[in-house]
Amino acid sequence: NAGVTQTPKFQVLKTGQSMTLQCAQDMNHEYMSWYRQDPGMGLRLIHYSVGAGITDQGEVPNGYNVSRSTTEDFPLRLLSAAPSQTSVYFCASSPTADRSLEKLFFGSGTQLSVL
Amino acid sequence: GENVEQHPSTLSVQEGDSAVIKCTYSDSASNYFPWYKQELGKRPQLIIDIRSNVGEKKDQRIAVTLNKTAKHFSLHITETQPEDSAVYFCAASYPFDSWGKLQFGAGTQVVVTP
């Protein structure tokens, strides 16, 4: 099992550009989520999904879109990148039975810079 | 929603000494409290956790205590070693629909000096 795979690892964008951060898991987890990590602010939830076809907003959803067409994939889209979206992004998944998110598996992260 | 405060933001300890990180939470419905360790450039990894029906849990040199009445929980690291240097995050999971939601603290940078 590869676990949670994120691509790319690093990305530099210009303001206004769009891009998609990819996240895939091969553990058949129902729950998948995206967090952003900023210095002094911990990990903040952007969007999450509890199954294919189901997505919901987290704490900081503005400027980001998600979709969940399959159990395995949960891409995060930035439609028009802004400098405020410079951050490290983590995808995380959790097994079906883990409703308290006790076994949250994180990807390796994407460092995004928006100039 | 839940609000988790974590203190201190940075902690410098001598190798062999103990380190304590404290977190408070606001939602009395929160029922699960994990601690994650993040080494430089790496992903967060779960190191220890505690459920609301338990007051203390130990795993070798690390322990977590929970005071539900006061709504705070703490991470204790004894006999610190250089490899304990990392950022530590506390979190609280509160019920939301049929799933939980994790609210993370801001993190504590721990530096262990030889």
Predicted confidence (pLDDT) per residue in B48-57, tens digit: 999 988 899 9
Question: Taking 80 as the threshold, does the pLDDT of residue A102 lie above it?
Answer: no
What mean pLDDT comes out for the span A25-44? Answer: 93
Predicted confidence band of residue B22 (pLDDT cuts 50, 70, 90)? very high
Which residues does residue A5 pair with via DSSP β-bridges, in sequence order? A24
pLDDT (average), residues A65-83: 97
Looking at the complex, report in whole angstroms how far the Cα of residue B80 sits from the nearest Cα belonging to chain A: 23
- Beta carbons within 8 Å of B96's beta carbon, 6+ residues apart: none
Binning pLDDT at 50, 70 and 90, where does residue A97 land? Answer: low
Residue B64 has pLDDT above 70, yes or no: yes
Q: If you average pLDDT over every residue of chain A, what do you get?
A: 93
> How many other β-carbons are positioned within 10 Å of the β-carbon of residue A44?
17
Chain A, 88 to 107: residues with Cβ < 8 Å from chain B are: 90, 99-104, 106-107
Q: Classify A4 as helix, strand or coil.
A: strand
Tokens encoding A72: 């395995």
Residue A47 pLDDT greater than 90, yes or no: yes
Cα atoms in the 13 Å half-sphere on the side-chain side of B73: 32
The radius of gyration computed from the CA coordinates of chain B, to the nearest angstrom, equals 14
| pLDDT exceeds 90 at position A9 | yes
pLDDT at A37 over 80: yes
Please count the residue pairs, one from chain A and one from chain B, whose beta carbons lie less than 8 angstroms apart: 52
Q: Kindly list the residues from chain A whose CB atom is less than 8 angstroms away from the CB atom of residue B100.
A: 99-101
Return the percentage of chain A with pLDDT > 90, whole number.
83
Q: How far is B105 from chain A (nearest CA, A)?
A: 6
Residue B24 confidence (pLDDT): 98
The pLDDT assigned to B99 comes to 74
Q: What mean pLDDT comes out for the span B7-24?
A: 98
- Beta-carbon contacts of B78 under 8 Å, excluding residues fewer than 6 positions away, are B18, B61, B62, B63
